Structure 1
Amino acid sequence: MSGTALTPPPLIHTERLNLRRPKVEDAQALFEGYTSRPEIVRYLTWRPHGSVEDTRQFLSWVGAAWDRGDEFSYVICPSQESAPIGMIGIHPAGTRVNFGYVIGPEHWGKGYTAEALSVLVEWSLAQEGIWRAGAYCDIENPASARVMEKAGMAFEGILRRWSVHPNVGPEPRDCLSYSKVR
């Protein structure tokens, strides 16, 4: 599948948030906020980080992936703060993009993740050659499904045995699929 070269802006402002490229210096805040917490990363595709160094290595990898154009991750920061409270990533795949996101539990229920996802979905669909913006979540994660709905994505169906969430078990799990298309 031929890919569309995306060039996301390094900083995006929304009504209440700043989305920016992550820095290795963000490691401590992210480690304390969620990367080390099993209950927060339960439905993600990676295990909790055992140390701040694990988070630093992850952030180095994220920076290199951005530079290669493989994926584009942003830290989510409330407008008046510089410390990140979560992350959201754009994963290009030919004529579509996929998203993944996580935010610390102290910030759940405030609409921050939906606000971040919404602006990135709209930006992505405005790019030439991108026709579909999608995301999925574990079938037992209704809060994530609500984020996608609030961001204007439509429920498409259940992806059977779609994704391994190692914090739940070793087998692929059913996931809810959402998208917005143009």
Structure 2
Amino acid sequence: MIRLETPRLVIRDYMSCDEEEYYQIKSDEGAMLKYQWDIMVHSREESDREFAGVLEDALKPDRKFYFFRVELKESGRQLGSVGYTVGERTPVGKLVHAGYFYFPEFWGQGYGTEAFGEVLRFAFEEDGVYRVTTGCLQENRGSERIMQKCGLIKEAEHVDWQWHQDRMKTRLEYRLLKQEYRQLKG
């Protein structure tokens, strides 16, 4: 089981006892509907199936999903989820797509940056990741700010790329390579 810590947070693999809280975050309209509608769950049954897959994948030697529960260190209260999905394994390392989502009451307090920064450290220093990509809609300034604070580099701006909430919207794409991460850390 993977367990990471920061000054304020515990970032860890989901466990079977987290099933209810997994459903809470993945079905929460505030956390998911505005920007994560494509991965939002719409029923308890859908959540239970997905959660079973999360637990099963975490036990595999060729694990694909590294999405973790984020909780406050002092209380254990769930804030959200952060992590990455392995898209490809290459001779130089894993190519992954990262993401994060949090309950709105925790936005703007630095938790997202703290958690994502620690996941990047784990990915590059412990998990053999070579390239991290992620992105957001241009209007999602908070998400873009997390990427920037964690040292990711803007790679693309896709104008009118995605249909969202009754109109076309621009999507931003960011990346960080292992050597760029090393340069950031000095």
Match of 1:176 among 160, 172, 175: 172
TM-score (norm. length: structure 1): 0.78
Per-residue deviation, 1:127 = 4.5
Per-residue deviation, 1:106 = 1.2
> Aligned letter for 1:91?
T
Answer whether contact 2:10 2:73 (CA < 8 A) is retained: yes
Q: Confirm or deny that 1:61 pairs with 2:60.
A: no
- Structure 2 alignment gaps of length 5 or more: 180-186
Answer whether contact 1:23 1:59 (CA < 8 A) is retained: no
Match of 1:15 among 7, 11, 21: 7
Q: Confirm or deny that 1:29 pairs with 2:21.
A: yes
Cα RMSD between the aligned structures? 2.7
Larger RCO (CA under 8 A, 6+ residues apart): 1
- SS in structure 1 opposite 2:143? helix
Q: How many residues align?
A: 170
The change in CA–CA distance for 1:160 and 1:124 in structure 2 (over 3 A counts) is farther
Answer whether contact 2:30 2:104 (CA < 8 A) is retained: no
- Partner of residue 84, structure 2: 90
Name the structure with the higher helix share. 2
Between the aligned partners of 2:158 and 2:99, the Cα distance in structure 1 is: 16
Between the aligned partners of 2:168 and 2:11, the Cα distance in structure 1 is: 31
Answer whether contact 2:85 2:97 (CA < 8 A) is retained: yes
Per-residue deviation, 1:173 = 5.5
Per-residue deviation, 1:115 = 0.8
Answer whether contact 2:22 2:51 (CA < 8 A) is retained: no
Residue range with higher mean Cα deviation, 12-21 or 145-154 = 145-154
- SS in structure 2 opposite 1:140? coil
